[in-house]
Amino acid sequence: MHELAVTESLIEAICSQMPESRVAVVHLEIGKLSGVMPDAVRICFASAGEGTCVAGARLDITEPDGVGDCGSCGTSFAARGPLAVCPCGSADVTLSGGTDLTIKAVEVTGDA
Residue list for the binding site? 2, 70, 73, 86, 88
- Count Cα neighbours of 85 within 13 Å in the Cβ-side half-sphere: 5
Which residues define the annotated binding site for Ni(2+)? Answer: 2
| Length of the chain (residues) | 112
Which residues define the annotated binding site for Zn(2+)? Answer: 70, 73, 86, 88
Q: Specify whether the CB–CB gap between 10 and 36 falls below 8 A.
A: no
Q: Specify whether the CB–CB gap between 6 and 45 falls below 8 A.
A: no
Kindly state the DSSP code that residue 93 receives in the 8-state scheme: E
